[in-house]
């Protein structure tokens, strides 16, 4: 098994690992170590059936049930199938920022205990575009001026299922799903529970405001943070092939999708989320 870095900023490809059989303990340990070093791992594979996908995920954590019921797989309910196809020209706005998926975010932050990691496999991939972009929030934190770091360290932010700060609107929730997703408060800088490394924990799609600041002051701070943390030197862009599995750390990275892919070409992934603890 070899670990090949994918960029200067983050990410590595895992080669030489046979995913069609249960992994051995030494393999899981090597993958875990690479995961903490690189924050995102790519495995090249063929599409797995949802049951096998969950079994693979269990090597790295505990798959949790995901919020949106309509996306759940019938046979393996921990798997959600995410379809992002533009089915008609009207589905694709001129301003692609209106597509929710195009906004930078970290998965699941609207829960008190967000998923520590996401495992996503490409099932259908358009002929062009649709890359997923990732940015390294450890490096973003470490490259802030000392005074900014000191200011952020004590702050907490309110995460909501939706916020008017995001250009695109969140998917509609059922009444049952809304009850499960009240606003939550998380630190704006979190300490990774496995590595102890600090990272900015700001979800531009869900973070509504900094707790205790007036709206204008909060917006100014979050806007400046956004500009810094989405710098191109902090990013890796993944160009999907059918079957690619990405396993990434939501405590370390934010991600967004390049939504400029053709109308009518199917874009579909299967996803599991691995349980995490409350950010501290």
Minimum separation from the CB atom of position 107 to Fe ion (A) = 5
Nearest residue to Fe ion, scored by beta-carbon proximity: 107
Sign of the alpha-carbon torsion through 35, 38, 40, 41? negative
Q: Which is nearer to Fe ion, 205 or 218 (CB)?
A: 205
First to last CA, the chain: 34
Q: Does 108 bind Fe ion (CB under 5 A)?
A: no
Q: Which is nearer to Fe ion, 103 or 187 (CB)?
A: 103
Q: Which is nearer to Fe ion, 167 or 219 (CB)?
A: 167
Which residues, in sequence order, are bridge partners of residue 246?
A: 42, 120
Taking CB under 5 A as the criterion, the residue among 73, 107, 162, 249 binding Fe ion is 107
Closest CA to 113 of 253, 271, 251: 251
- Between CA 122 and CA 208 the distance in angstroms is 30
Minimum separation from the CB atom of position 83 to Fe ion (A) = 14
Closest CA to 186 of 209, 216, 218: 209
Minimum separation from the CB atom of position 108 to Fe ion (A) = 8
Query: Which of 60-68, 106-114, 145-153, 207-215 is the region at the interface with Fe ion (rule: CB under 5 A)?
Result: 106-114
Minimum separation from the CB atom of position 110 to Fe ion (A) = 12
Query: Which of 33-41, 105-113, 161-169, 242-250 is the region at the interface with Fe ion (rule: CB under 5 A)?
Result: 105-113
Q: Which is nearer to Fe ion, 130 or 144 (CB)?
A: 130
Q: Write out the E strands in the chain.
A: 2-5, 12-15, 40-43, 63-64, 80-83, 117-124, 132-136, 156-159, 184-187, 189-191, 198-200, 207-210, 235-238, 245-249, 253-257, 268-274
Angle at alpha carbon of residue 102, lines to 246 and 13, rounded to 5° = 20
Minimum separation from the CB atom of position 24 to Fe ion (A) = 30
What residues from 28 to 67 belong to the interface with Fe ion (CB under 5 A)? none
Minimum separation from the CB atom of position 150 to Fe ion (A) = 30
Q: Which is nearer to Fe ion, 102 or 218 (CB)?
A: 102
Binding site for Fe ion (CB under 5 A): 107
């Amino acid at each position: 098994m070899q670990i090949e870095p994918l960029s200067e900023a983050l990410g590595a490809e895992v080669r030489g690992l046979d995913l069609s059989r249960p992994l051995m303990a030494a393999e899981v340990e090597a993958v875990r170590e690479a995961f903490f070093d690189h924050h995102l791992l790519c495995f090249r594979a063929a599409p797995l059936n949802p049951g096998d996908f969950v079994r693979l995920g269990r090597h790295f954590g505990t798959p949790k049930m995901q919020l949106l019921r309509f996306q759940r797989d019938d046979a393996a309910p921990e798997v959600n199938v995410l379809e992002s196809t533009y089915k008609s020209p009207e589905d694709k706005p001129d301003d692609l920022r209106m597509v929710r998926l195009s906004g930078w975010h970290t998965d699941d932050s609207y829960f008190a205990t967000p998923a520590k990691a996401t495992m996503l496999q490409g099932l259908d991939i358009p002929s062009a575009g649709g890359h997923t972009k990732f940015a390294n929030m450890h490096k973003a934190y470490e490259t802030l001026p000392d005074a900014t770091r000191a200011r952020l360290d004590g702050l907490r932010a309110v995460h909501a299922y939706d916020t008017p700060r995001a250009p695109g609107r969140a998917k509609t929730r059922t009444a049952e799903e809304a009850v499960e997703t009240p606003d939550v408060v998380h630190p704006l800088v979190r300490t990774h529970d496995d590595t102890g490394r600090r990272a900015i924990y700001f979800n531009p799609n869900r973070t509504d405001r900094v707790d205790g600041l007036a709206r204008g002051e909060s917006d100014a701070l979050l806007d400046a943070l956004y500009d810094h943390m989405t710098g191109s030197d902090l990013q890796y862009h993944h160009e999907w092939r059918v079957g690619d599995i990405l396993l990434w750390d939501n405590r370390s990275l934010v991600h967004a999708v390049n939504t400029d892919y053709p109308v009518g070409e199917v874009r579909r992934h299967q996803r599991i989320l691995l349980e995490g603890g409350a950010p501290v």
